[in-house]
Amino acid sequence: MNQVIPIHAEESLGCSDTPVLVEKGQREVFCGLTGIIWLHRKIQDAFFLVVGSRTCAHLIQSAAGVMIFAEPRFGTAIIDERDLAGLADCNEELDRVVRQLLARRPDIKLLFLVGSCPSEVIKLDLSRAAQRLSSEYLHAVRVLNYSGSGIETTFTQGEDACLASMVPGLPQSTDTTPRLMVVGTLADVVEDQLRQLFSAMGIAQLDFFPPRRSTAMPPMGPSTRFLLAQPFLADTAKALQARGARHLGAPFPLGAEGTTAWLQAATHAFGISQERFEEATRAPRQRAEQALNRHRPLLQGKKIFFFPDSQLEIPLARFLSRELQMELSEVGTPYLHRQLMAQELELLPRTTKLSEGQDVERQLDRCIAAQPDMVVCGLGLANPLEAQGFTTKWSIELVFTPIQGYEQAGDLAGLFSRPLTRRMKLAA
Ligand code: SF4
């Protein structure tokens, strides 16, 4: 049985114009360095050199783990007390570390200098350092910089800053044939499935950004149309638009319905017939719907509360409410990019309580009062909430796990049904 509610505009544009609770207070989030964990796996000839403190080194090391069998593709140049006291020239020190690294690792073709919070790092001009080092290693290594600082950011902004830093260097295309660019880091398996689907629909001029190798950057120009695969890429989208590319607005490819609407945004822009679209998507869509049917009995009617963290909250809430009939207690998002979220907001139930930003104590009070069946939140909140008897889901897991596209729809639902099953077993 197909439980997916078809997308129609008669629902008076969902949450597009409902009031949003905006809060500015204490926040519980990870910093943008976290993005290195999935970015270093994706761009296989890149290296991420964090310019930061011992805290940054600990974060990145404990979150990303140690690569035992391969040479690591991330590291930290620690600005220590000697540097902080102004006894060493940080720029010279940085150049020395980079030279050492590149001499030892000729496989590195793209080096990111990743800025962080400490005040001495903020004072360092990493963009000048990147330019200086890029000219030194001309044609051999490109050196770029971006900030992964945790001041006023969320952990997914690291990817946005990283991708935005690459946009000015994308090769200019003079081809007038429309090209499609899928923007946002996706697991290779998801990328391969999407490539197959687009090819079956007749879209052969297709690129993924970021690419798997930095030497294969996608060309772009005014004929580029791009689809965002991740909702947290506002700066990257702006940089692509500034270079003439056109954004194709769509819900994000989460769930059967979301994936269908996302793919359809491309087929409409590329003039693909509905028949061809149906033919290419029918089988995987049915598989996705069947997979969701298995999780729906457990999830439907359950109340879910989202703390703002990954910026995936709104697309996830739409997926859970429309395709699995969960009840949305509160949907918190760190930032509400109305333009990027327009199609998602239209699909949320009109009564959804949306909040932007965070005042963590007040939000915890609201969560406890609402008594949801499940809470989606950052790691720092999960344990205390579990201790109070709430079932939680770490939002960071939703960024690490392949969840986009038809074939992953069941796995995505499983990420929410599993903690409930576990809690029921523990209570039995
Ligand atoms: S960038 Fe800032 S928030 Fe992130 S680990 Fe370093 S010091 Fe901490």
Mean pLDDT of 223-234: 97
Mean pLDDT of 234-244: 97
Q: Quick one: which atom of ligand 1 is closest to the CA of 32?
A: 4
Domain-located, residue 285: no
Q: Which of 344, 304, 308, 350 is nearest to 327 (CA)?
A: 304
Band of pLDDT at residue 67, cut at 50, 70 and 90: low
Residue 148 sits in which domain range?
32-153
Q: What pLDDT sits at residue 376?
A: 97
Structure token pair of residue 155:
């952990």
| 297, 228: one domain | no
Share of the chain above pLDDT 90, in %: 76
- Is residue 59 within 6 Å of ligand 1 at its C-beta? yes
Domain-located, residue 282: no
Who wins on pLDDT, 423 or 312? 312
Domain boundary among 276, 309, 335: 276
Share of the chain above pLDDT 70, in %: 94
What is the pTM for the complete model shown?
0.93
Mean pLDDT of 408-424: 95
Band of pLDDT at residue 423, cut at 50, 70 and 90: confident
Q: How many angstroms separate the CA atoms of 399 and 37, rounded?
A: 10
pLDDT at 12 over 80: no
The residues near 380 (Cβ < 8 Å, ≥ 6 apart) are 28
Domain-located, residue 281: no
| 77, 206: one domain | no
3-state secondary structure 95-154: HHHHHHHHHHCCCCCEEEEEECCCHHHHHCCHHHHHHHHHHHCCCCCEEEEEECCCCCCC
| 20, 55: one domain | no
Q: What pLDDT sits at residue 3?
A: 43
Domain-located, residue 169: no
Domain-located, residue 402: yes
State in Å: Cα 126 to ligand 1 middle: 16
State in Å: Cα 150 to ligand 1 middle: 5
Q: How many angstroms separate the CA atoms of 314 and 320, rounded?
A: 10
State in Å: Cα 289 to ligand 1 middle: 41
Q: Quick one: which atom of ligand 1 is closest to the CA of 52?
A: 6
Atom 6 (ligand 1): residue with closest C-alpha? Answer: 56
State in Å: Cα 58 to ligand 1 middle: 9
List the CATH number of the domain containing 359: 3.40.50.1980
Domain boundary among 217, 250, 276: 276
| 271, 318: one domain | no
CB atoms within 10 A of CB 252: 27
- Is residue 117 within 6 Å of ligand 1 at its C-beta? yes
pLDDT at 105 over 90: yes
Structure token pair of residue 151:
């001041």
- Is residue 32 within 6 Å of ligand 1 at its C-beta? no
Q: Is 405 left (phi over 0), alpha (psi -120 to 50) or beta?
A: left
Q: What pLDDT sits at residue 405?
A: 98
Q: Quick one: which atom of ligand 1 is closest to the CA of 55?
A: 5
pLDDT digits (tens, 9 = 90+) for 160-180: 999 999 999 999 998 899 999
- Is residue 50 within 6 Å of ligand 1 at its C-beta? no
| 253, 331: one domain | no
| 294, 241: one domain | no
| 308, 360: one domain | yes
Mean pLDDT of 389-413: 96
Band of pLDDT at residue 182, cut at 50, 70 and 90: very high
Domain-located, residue 210: yes
| 115, 52: one domain | yes
How many structural domains does the chain have?
Answer: 3
Mean pLDDT of 124-141: 93
| 145, 54: one domain | yes
Domain boundary among 252, 276, 300: 276
State in Å: Cα 253 to ligand 1 middle: 31
State in Å: Cα 83 to ligand 1 middle: 17
| 149, 250: one domain | no
Mean pLDDT of 76-105: 81
pLDDT digits (tens, 9 = 90+) for 15-36: 888 889 999 988 877 889 999 9
| 242, 302: one domain | no
Local structure of residue 351 (DSSP, 8 states): T
State in Å: Cα 31 to ligand 1 middle: 6
State in Å: Cα 55 to ligand 1 middle: 6
Domain-located, residue 174: no
Domain-located, residue 23: yes
| 312, 414: one domain | yes
pLDDT at 109 over 90: yes
Q: How many angstroms separate the CA atoms of 12 and 5, rounded?
A: 15
pLDDT at 9 over 60: no
* Sign of the torsion formed by the C-alpha atoms of 251, 254, 259 and 260: negative
Mean pLDDT of 383-404: 94
- Is residue 29 within 6 Å of ligand 1 at its C-beta? no
Q: What pLDDT sits at residue 424?
A: 85
- Is residue 15 within 6 Å of ligand 1 at its C-beta? no
pLDDT at 73 over 70: yes
